[in-house]
Amino acid sequence: MTTSSQPHESPRMIRIFDTTLRDGEQSPGASMNLAEKLEVASLLDEMGVDIIEAGFPIASPGDFESVKKVAETIQRSTICGLARCSDKDIDAAAEAVKPAKQGRIHVFLATSAIHREFKLRMTPDEIVQRAIAGVKRARNLCDDIEFSPEDACRTEDDFLCRVVEAAIDAGATTINMPDTVGYTTPNEIFDRFSMVRNRVPNIDKAILSTHCHNDLGMAVANSMAAVAAGAGQIECTINGIGERAGNAALEEIVMAMKTRQDFFNCTTAIDTQRLVPASRLVSKTTGIQVQRNKAIVGRNAFAHESGIHQDGMLKERSTYEIMSPEDVGFSKTDLVLGKHSGRAALADRAKTLGFSLSPEQLVTVFEQFKILADKKKEIYDGDIIALVQQQISGSVEQEWALIDYTVTSGKNRTPVVEVTLKHGDDEKTQRVEQGDGPIDAAFWAVEKITGIEVVCKDFRVRSATLGRDAIGEVNLEVEYKGKTYRGIGVSTDSVESTILAMLNAINRIISEKRE
């Protein structure tokens, strides 16, 4: 397989035929009402889609109405309606697209042996006659006719060429060769399109189109291979929704051509900054969620969590990004802080949040960050603020440090806390205390071990971020010999936050005494 054009030629314009409102709507549960279809159609029109397949008018009165309404409303894109090779389908499609500035009827008839024999129960000759009759009828009602030999990618070469030639002679202006069941491969579809281009004598009178399904996850790759073999139109849907495993995803197709223009030498009229808004609108409208790691529009498509990647990104974005998030409609790259992140990303986030950490502070905050990251899936800005604030306010000598603690508590039990602290470099002291609650017991244990008894003047716990695994930040004020001292502690466990806040205040008292 080679690319469709030589690099020195100017890029070939590929038509984008969006079938979100027709094949996309065939995804179970994805039905859209008239208002929703109009909203999606308007966005597709604004984003530069060349042809909008708005529905299958014979399918229901509602489908007819929505194709008609889209045809009346949309001014720029061509509006297309689908029809079987039957008079009533074609007449309904013609009627529905009539109000459009540019209308198209899309007539289809299956050509593969399996479909001919078992579904349509027609001979090859009957298929050819039916296709000719259908295209002719449609062409008498509309100038722009697309014909699809359904299941083209499983159709015998000779018969496919025969049907395509007959459909063009009958008046088809676009020939779409669908991979209806997502069975083909990139090399195979390239060969099939090349074969049809080489063998069908009147092929230059029609635009070749590709319509790939994603049953084997190759819909986009197959579409691009068809383009490389000369297809001038791609049929696709927003977020790749569609029958079964879906269709080729519009956003992936468009960005493949934009990002690898050097390879494909093709371009489209799509305003790529509307890709994310379109993805969100279709997801909201159909209720089909976009997977996080979905190419181009997924939440993780421009998110980096690994320290090595984040460091590379901060030094030079192109190390790990082949497209810019702004180009597809995201506001920015997301450097997600988590257990795989490194110091570079942490320092960068702290700076964005207004903290300039010294190298020593960064070492300590990073240590605590890694401990927290082992406990929490994702670290939010609120967590970073709490960790940094604890470090800044806790930058007193660590006379007493927490080694371990356990809490026993229950509805009808007196809470008991066992605390183990380290004094200086090696001395470890343990104490078991009871209290009115675990926090009270922790206060007692710390006071007894350190020998510093304080009066608690203010005690506040707040959640630094949202979510059940949010870290709790304890801020307290204690009085010791007539003076007030502050302490701060953060942890996902509020008893630990309390002990840390107590130790922070007590270490201040000791350091002031020493001075």
Query: Under 8 Å CB-to-CB from 304, ≥6 apart: which residues?
Result: 310, 313, 320, 333, 334, 335, 336
Q: How far is the CB of 51 from ligand KIV (least distance, A)?
A: 12
Say whether residue 165 binds ligand KIV (CB under 6 A): no
Stretch that binds ligand KIV, among 41-49, 173-181, 328-336, 392-400 (CB under 6 A): 173-181
User: From ligand ACO, ligand KIV, none, which one binds at residue 317 (CB under 5 to 8 Å depending on kind)?
Assistant: none
What is the signed CA dihedral for 376, 380, 386, 391, rounded to 10 degrees? 80
What's the token pair of residue 15? 């038509």
Which amino acid belongs to residue 79? I
Q: Mark the binding-site residues, compressed into ranges.
A: 23, 211, 213, 247
Q: Quote the CA–CA distance of 386 and 350 in Å, as a whole number.
A: 11
Q: Is the dihedral of CA 176, 12, 205, 227 positive or negative?
A: negative
Query: Is residue 378 packed enough to be buried (19+ CB in 10 Å), middle (13-18) or exposed (0-12)?
Result: middle
User: From ligand KIV, ligand ACO, none, which one binds at residue 120 (CB under 5 to 8 Å depending on kind)?
Assistant: ligand ACO
Residue span 78-117 as binding mask against ligand ACO, x where in contact by CB under 6 A, dash where not? ------xxx---------------------xx--------
Q: How far is the CB of 223 from ligand KIV (least distance, A)?
A: 12
Say whether residue 150 binds ligand KIV (CB under 6 A): yes
In 170-313, DSSP assigns E strands to 174-179, 207-212, 233-236, 266-267, 303-304
**Nearest CB to ligand ACO, comparing residues 95 and 493:** 95
Q: Quote the CA–CA distance of 171 and 140 in Å, as a whole number.
A: 9
User: From ligand KIV, ligand ACO, none, which one binds at residue 148 (CB under 5 to 8 Å depending on kind)?
Assistant: ligand KIV
Q: Quote the CA–CA distance of 175 and 15 in Å, as a whole number.
A: 13
CA distances to 79, 244, 340 from 57, rounded to whole Å, are 12, 21, 52
Task: Tell me the β-bridge partners of 487.
Answer: 476
Which residue lies nearest ligand ACO, judged by its C-beta?
84
Stretch that binds ligand KIV, among 44-52, 174-182, 354-362, 461-469 (CB under 6 A): 174-182
Say whether residue 177 binds ligand ACO (CB under 6 A): no
105 three-state secondary structure: strand
Say whether residue 148 binds ligand KIV (CB under 6 A): yes
**Nearest CB to ligand ACO, comparing residues 86 and 463:** 86
Q: Mark the binding-site residues for Mn(2+), compressed into ranges.
A: 23, 211, 213, 247
Say whether residue 25 binds ligand KIV (CB under 6 A): no
Q: Quote the CA–CA distance of 190 and 235 in Å, as a whole number.
A: 16
Q: How far is the CB of 146 from ligand KIV (least distance, A)?
A: 9
Q: Which of 20, 176, 268, 285 binds ligand KIV (CB under 6 A)?
A: 176
Say whether residue 23 binds ligand KIV (CB under 6 A): yes
Say whether residue 210 binds ligand ACO (CB under 6 A): no
Q: Quote the CA–CA distance of 445 and 261 in Å, as a whole number.
A: 68
Long-range CB contacts (within 8 A, 24+) of 428-434: 428/403
Angle at 24 between CA 21 and CA 28, to 5 degrees: 120
Q: How far is the CB of 357 from ligand ACO (least distance, A)?
A: 58
Residue span 80-119 as binding mask against ligand KIV, x where in contact by CB under 6 A, dash where not? ----------------------------x-----------
Task: Tell me the β-bridge partners of 52.
Answer: 18, 79
Q: Quote the CA–CA distance of 92 and 86 in Å, as a whole number.
A: 10
Q: Which of 57, 81, 103, 178 binds ligand KIV (CB under 6 A)?
A: 178
238-277 binders of ligand ACO (CB under 6 A):
243
**Nearest CB to ligand KIV, comparing residues 248 and 372:** 248
Q: Which of 36, 150, 252, 305 binds ligand ACO (CB under 6 A)?
A: 150
List of residues contacting ligand KIV (CB under 6 A): 23, 108, 148, 150, 176, 178, 180, 211, 213
